[in-house]
Chains A and B, each alone.
Chain A
Amino acid sequence: MAMDAKLVNPFIDAVTTVLPQMGFPEPKRAKLYVREKNAVSLGVSVIVGFTKQIRGNVVYNMTEDTAKFIASTMMMGMPVAEFDAMAQSAISEMSNMLTANAATNLTAMGLEVDISTPSLTVGKNFQVKISESQYLTVEMDVGGNIVELDIAVEPQ
């Protein structure tokens, strides 16, 4: 069994806990999908890997507009016209914080994990293969902006 719905909650909890602390509107869970193998990038995709008692990857997937909104909010409302180095750094940092929080939540469930550094990928029409079989996608609505979490992790 490649996916385990139980393992999605630590990620959702991370989003709903961490983002409001950074001045974001209350994130709401929108849709949940079961998908296979590839995550289709929305434009900006940040991939973070897991080892130890959980192995796999999570992808924070969003459009460039959403990425700019997030970067702007993180930088105290500073306008972000271009998705430049500073904005990319903000998105990486957010992905890192969310994943670290999810890792803490997993530890609370008795699952010890280590996380890698985030890799931020930008482009049009690319796919990220994160699973040999099925994985779960959760859409989080953050003030009308959708951040998609592609979660392909399994307990060891």
Chain B
Amino acid sequence: MEKVKVMVVDDSKVSRAMIEGHLKKTNFEVCASAKTAAEALSMYAEHRPSVVTMDMNLPDADGIECSRKIRLIDQDAKIIMISAMKDASLVSAGREAGISAFLQKPINPNDLIDTMMILCQNKVGRVAVLRESYAKAFVRALQQGLTSLVGITGEADLELDERRFLDVSGIAVIIGLTGFPVGRAIVYMSEETMRKFSAIMLGEDSAEGLTEDDASDSVEEAANIIVGRGVSNINDVFKDKEMRITPPGTICGTNIRIASPKLTTFKITAETRIGTICMNIGFAEGE
């Protein structure tokens, strides 16, 4: 996945470091840091970043003037003004200079990331944003969960899932996601894998003595832990998003099809010694 290039224009080393820090766990990457308007112009021409953060006060010009000049190089330049003061006259002068968004110091990391995502959506694509910032959090959660719950380590693959249906024979635990983005997660596996999974989780030597309910309850609990951890991973980065999980709805049966119209979905697959453990994460369009 290609990172989205960001140029930071700020004469303060601390401010530059803070912005870089805010973007660390995202798919945005600082490709250039300019301390002056002159540096900003030459770096913009060289790096062609997807988005620019612009401080209002620079040693050799103000941020509005600098933005105007950047727009002369690239009339589609996406610029976010970051200033200590934010009043109507600044905003209107900034708009005229082609600045797209205005944030006030101290910047809230989520506001910054959200603003960048919105501005760059055409360039990076919504799918890339969802994959990098959201779906990957569930890949880590699945790996961590499998290790801690059943002692299975291994790779988990993440791919965009363009199937209209999820075909399941065995168990599917559906857990809703609320907040932003809204969606749902489904952890699913075959009946055989479910029985082996629950035997390990419950410390049994074999799956033979387990009832159907024991087996499905274990997988349900594991799914709850894994999806909960995925959401925590996301909330750690986007601190005011407050994503939450609904209680699970657990489906058992054969030849079940689960459809989620209008969702962008990702499939996470872990091939393990007890079988394939799958997770499907879907996010709603819009908002």
Determine which residue in A48, A51, A122, A125 has the highest number of CB atoms from chain B within 10 A of its CB, and name it.
A51
Asked whether A123 lies within 8 Å of B261 as measured between CB atoms, the reply is: no
Q: Name A48's closest neighbour in chain B (CB-CB).
A: B176
Interface pairs (20), CB distance under 8 Å: A41-B253, A47-B176, A55-B246, A56-B246, A85-B259, A116-B182, A117-B176, A117-B182, A119-B260, A120-B258, A121-B257, A126-B254, A126-B256, A127-B253, A128-B250, A129-B251, A129-B252, A130-B247, A130-B249, A152-B247
Residue of A55, A56, A93, A120 near B259 (CB, 8 A) is: A120
8 additional contacts (CB under 8 A) given A51-B179, A125-B253:
A51-B244, A85-B259, A92-B260, A116-B178, A116-B182, A117-B282, A117-B284, A129-B248
Point out which of B177, B246, B263 has the most chain A C-beta atoms below 10 A from its C-beta.
Answer: B246
Instruction: Please tell me if B124 contacts chain A, counting CB pairs below 8 Å.
Output: no
The answer to whether A126 and B253 touch across the interface, beta carbons within 8 angstroms, is yes
Q: Is the CB of B284 within 8 A of A57?
A: no
In angstroms, Cα B15 to Cα A151, docked, is 51
B253 proximity list for chain A (CB < 8 A): 41, 123-127
Q: B246, A122: Cβ atoms under 8 Å?
A: no
Q: Cβ of B146 < 8 Å from any Cβ of A? A: no
CA distance A114 to B261 in the complex (A): 19
Asked if B255 CB lies within 8 Å of chain A CBs, one says yes
Closest chain B residue to A127 by CB distance? Answer: B252
The answer to whether A50 has its CB under 8 Å from any CB of chain B is: yes
Which residues in A have some Cβ–Cβ distance to B below 8 Å? 41, 47-52, 55-57, 59, 85, 88-89, 92-93, 114-130, 152
Interface residues of B in 138-180 (CB under 8 A from A): 164, 172, 174-179
Docked pose: A88 CA to B184 CA in angstroms: 17
Q: Is B77 an interface residue (CB 8 A)?
A: no
The answer to whether A85 and B261 have CB atoms under 8 Å apart is: yes
Cβ of B94 under 8 Å from chain A: no
Once A51-B178, A116-B176 are accepted as A-B contacts, the answer to whether A129 and B257 lie under 8 Å apart by CB is no
- The SS class assigned to the B binding surface is strand
Tell me which of A56, A85, A121 contacts B251 (CB under 8 A): A121
Residue pair A49, B256 in contact (C-beta under 8 Å): no
Q: A117-B284, A119-B260 are in contact. Are A124 and B186 (CB under 8 A)?
A: no
B191 on the A face (CB < 8 A):
no
Given contacts A115-B176, A117-B182, A122-B256, contact A51 B246 (CB under 8 A): yes
Q: Are B176 and A52 in contact (CB under 8 A)?
A: no
A44 to chain B, nearest CB (A): 10
- With the chains together, A129 CA to B217 CA distance in Å? 10
Interface size on B, residues (CB 8 A): 36
Whether A47 pairs with B174 at a CB distance below 8 angstroms is yes
- Give the chain B neighbours of A123 by CB distance below 8 A: 253-257
**Closest beta carbon of chain B to A118's beta carbon, Å:** 8
Q: Is B25 an interface residue (CB 8 A)?
A: no
B247 and A59 contact, CB distance less than 8 A: no
Q: How far is the CB of B87 from chain A (nearest CB, A)?
A: 34
Q: By the criterion CB–CB under 8 Å, are A49 and B178 in contact?
A: yes
- Whose C-beta in chain B lies nearest to the C-beta of A37? B213
A4 to B235, CA, bound (A): 31
Nearest-Cβ distance from residue B230 to partner chain A, whole angstroms: 14
A92-B261, A117-B176 as given contacts; A57 in contact with B244, CB under 8 Å: no
Q: Which of B244, B259, B263, B284 has the most CB of A within 10 A?
A: B259
In residues 257-272 of chain B, which contact A (Cβ within 8 Å)? 257-263
| CB closest residue in chain A, given B257 | A122
Instruction: Determine if B259 and A49 form an interchain contact, defined as CB atoms under 8 angstroms apart.
Output: no
Contact of A121 among B245, B254, B258, B282 (CB under 8 A): B258
A49 engages B247 (CB within 8 Å): yes
Please report the C-alpha to C-alpha distance between residue A126 and residue B254 in the assembled complex, in whole angstroms.
7
Report yes or no: B250 in contact with A115, Cβ–Cβ below 8 A: no
